Amino acid sequence: MIPSAPDDRDVLAGEYVLGLLDADTVREVERAMGTDADLRDRVAYWETRLLALSEGLAPEADDPALWARIERDVAALRQRRAAAPAPERSVRRLWRSAPFWRGATALATAAAILLAVLPGGVGQPSESATRFYALLQSRDDSGAESGPGWLIQVAEDGTVRSIPLASVAPGRGRALQLWTLWDQARGPVSLGVLPPGGSVRLPPERLGTIGSGQLFEITLEPEAGSPTGRPTGRILFIGRASAPPTRAL
């Protein structure tokens, strides 16, 4: 049944766009969109917002063996279902399954992004709406980008939130330091050493300036932070600020 409460309809539309609904609910949503203009608008809103997020991701080359691997996995799954194992054994296998944990991690990442960019947040205390966000890409030891790993949210009131999308341990005697760059002549400006876990909320005066395309990066530094006032360690995450799409529902 399609909910009537606006927040519930937003969540349903977001889950539909993310592909989190079962087949029956997908069909119900698609039938409802034929006559429900409000639901169509909400689905279009989430499609636009998630497209904006995906534009910051580096393209991935197709794996020639991908479909063959998918077909093998689907065939193996059908065989396991046909065997009808005891519920207890199924649950144990699920918790030991690497694909299950990869999927759970992907869903948690998507949820973190949705909660961060949704004005007010779903189930979150009321706060200033998002003005800019930066989806920071992870960088491996060679400097190549390896996917989204961090989210920086700047609210309308200037508050900055640092939201890790993956667990990062800087190591003994080391720390993660957040930087921003809006003026090449001035150079990178430190927003501070991040606490353990990396999640932090900074007051508006820490940022000062914010604009579309502004660079954010996280580097690996000594435990007390860079001794020079400039990044000295390897860049772990990097990305640029974007304004979220305007919502009109």
In a domain, 231, yes or no: yes
In a domain, 247, yes or no: no
In a domain, 233, yes or no: yes
Domain that holds residue 152: 124-242
DSSP string, 1-15: ----SHHHHHHHHHH
User: 134 - beta bridge partners?
Assistant: 152, 241
User: 48 - beta bridge partners?
Assistant: none
The number of residues in the chain equals 249
Does one domain contain both 238 and 131? Answer: yes
Tokens, residue 185? 């002549």
* Mean pLDDT along residues 88-98: 48
98, pLDDT greater than 50: no
Task: Quote the number of domains for the chain.
Answer: 3
pLDDT digits (tens, 9 = 90+) for 118-173: 544 443 444 567 788 888 888 777 767 677 788 898 888 888 988 888 778 888 99
